[in-house]
């Protein structure tokens, strides 16, 4: 049978765009459709704008810390509209780049939501297109629980573009998105309360890192309340939001951000009669070649779960394209993928947490360093940094590295290469540090604790 396309991609986010471009480069005829954000979550309402807002938030701390170095500055005023609008201009530029990348790769771009109406057919804006293979790369969507007044809350999709700056904001959630936005608005000058229904946020991260981060974030001024949840939101006559909490108290805020997780964005994706197998979490099930239960339909990125990170989606899209159209094996190593949480101070991590290491290995050695950075001996800040290495005592191999402190993400990227290459503690010990830096601490920790 002759199809309109070899590959039809639904979703122009990180994974979908990479798969489309690579496949077209290998000679496939490719189309891609997108109904909202060219570039997906990361470019539009995720990593990129979030990091820009993190930079903005850190300036206030820099001004505060400058006094000890002789800079007598008045507390600066912050203009929300300037940040918001400059961000929007930059995102528009990136949208255009994504359009150009696809066009230059001879990928046909269709604006509209793709709906799978047959095992080889996608409908966009009422027109049907056939393809030998269909790739689902629709990503995730913020989840807000069904509570009374939920319509008064905003998600991470809308938070970047609020009409006015919220002087009092409540962030609900305990994942990295919640933690990051609590830090952003705290740094921009808002009074921030973070509510999390569990005992401690950042579930899945190293326990010691979680505890240390909670301590340091609280020092910055974020009011963290664990074992606390919102039961209802009411909008008062003056526009203030009144939150009812599960402990029987109430709390007022100008804005409420729900960062309580994301779910696969499967709404209106499948016509009646088309069923793709899903895990209990709602993510699409795929095999080792990213194939769903329908052989002609594949899926990559956040919609299949796993580590929901932009670089992972990119790698999945690239791996699939190479496999389908360049004859390469469909192999992707998910071990030792580094990640960062851009809270204040940052968290960087690669490899196993201490809990994971001790569950798998019988002789785990921990190297730990906690200190006040050189900068803060003069700045006056009481911020502290934590670094730790986990080592298999039998093989000397590094199992995990963790850091809470400034530039943790930048530092961890270099360590990730070493750990991916199989570095041992002896290699770290033999590496001469760069002095004076915080990063040198990773090669000067000599005694296990």
Q: CA 443 to CA 446: how far, in whole Å?
A: 8
* Paired residues of 398 in beta bridges: 391
Give the long-range contacts of residues 435-444, CB within 8 A, separation 24 or more: 436/374, 438/373, 438/385, 438/387, 438/405, 438/406, 438/407, 438/411, 439/411, 439/414, 441/369, 441/371, 441/387, 442/387, 442/389, 442/401, 442/411, 442/415
Distances in Å between the alpha carbon of 54 and those of 61, 174, 177, 247, 345? 11, 18, 12, 32, 11
- CA 290-292-293 angle, to 5 degrees, is 145
Distances (CA, A) of 139 to 37, 283, 443: 11, 10, 39
Q: CB neighbours of 167 closer than 8 A, spacing ≥ 6? A: 189, 190, 191, 254
Q: Is 221 helix (H, G, I), strand (E, B) or coil?
A: coil
Active site residue 435: yes
d(Cα 134, Cα 206) in Å, to the nearest integer?
Answer: 38
Q: Please tell me what DSSP assigns to residue 74.
A: P
152, 376, 402, 435: the catalytic one is 435
3-state secondary structure of 306: coil
The gap between the terminal CA atoms of the chain, to the nearest Å, is 66
The DSSP H or E segment spanning 122 is strand 121-124
Active site residues: 435
């Amino acid at each position: 049978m002759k199809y309109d396309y070899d590959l039809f991609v639904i979703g122009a986010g990180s994974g979908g765009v990479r798969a489309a471009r690579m496949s077209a480069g290998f000679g496939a005829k490719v189309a891609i459709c997108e109904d909202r954000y060219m570039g997906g979550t990361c470019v539009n309402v995720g990593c990129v704008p979030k990091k820009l807002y993190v930079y903005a938030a850190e300036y206030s701390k820099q001004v505060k810390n400058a006094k000890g170095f002789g800079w007598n500055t008045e507390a600066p005023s912050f203009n929300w509209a300037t940040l918001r609008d400059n961000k929007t201009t930059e995102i528009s530029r990136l949208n255009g780049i994504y359009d150009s990348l696809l066009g230059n790769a001879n990928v046909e771009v269709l604006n509209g939501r793709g709906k799978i109406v047959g095992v080889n057919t996608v409908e966009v804006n009422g027109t049907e297109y056939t393809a030998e293979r269909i790739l689902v790369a629709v990503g995730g969507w913020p989840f807000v629980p069904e509570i009374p007044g939920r319509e008064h809350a905003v998600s991470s999709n809308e938070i970047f573009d609020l009409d006015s700056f919220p002087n009092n904001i409540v962030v609900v959630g305990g994942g990295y998105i919640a933690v990051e936005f609590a830090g952003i608005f705290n740094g921009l000058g808002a009074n921030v309360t973070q509510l999390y229904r569990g005992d401690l946020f950042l579930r899945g991260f190293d326990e010691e890192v979680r505890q240390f981060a909670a301590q340091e974030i609280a020092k910055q001024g974020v009011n963290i309340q664990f074992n606390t949840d919102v039961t209802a939101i009411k909008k008062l006559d003056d526009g203030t939001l009144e939150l009812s909490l599960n402990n029987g108290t109430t709390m007022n805020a100008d804005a409420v951000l729900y960062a309580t997780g994301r779910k696969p964005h499967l709404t209106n994706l499948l016509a009646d009669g088309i069923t793709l197998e899903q895990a209990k979490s709602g993510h699409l099930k795929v095999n080792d070649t990213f194939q769903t239960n329908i052989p002609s339909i594949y899926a990559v990125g956040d919609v299949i779960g796993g580590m929901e990170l932009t670089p992972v989606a990119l790698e999945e899209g690239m791996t699939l394209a190479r496999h389908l159209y360049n004859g390469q094996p469909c192999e992707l190593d998910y071990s030792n993928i580094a990640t960062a949480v851009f809270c204040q101070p940052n968290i960087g991590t690669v490899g196993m947490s201490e809990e994971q290491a001790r569950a798998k290995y019988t002789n785990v050695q921990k190297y730990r360093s906690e200190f006040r950075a050189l900068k803060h001996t003069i700045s006056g800040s009481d911020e502290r940094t934590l670094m730790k290495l986990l080592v298999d005592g039998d093989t000397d191999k590094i199992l995990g590295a963790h850091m809470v402190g400034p530039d943790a993400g930048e530092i961890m990227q270099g360590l990730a290469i070493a750990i991916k290459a199989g570095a041992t503690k002896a290699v770290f010990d033999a590496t001469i540090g760069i002095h004076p830096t915080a990063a040198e601490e990773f090669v000067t920790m000599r005694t296990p604790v």
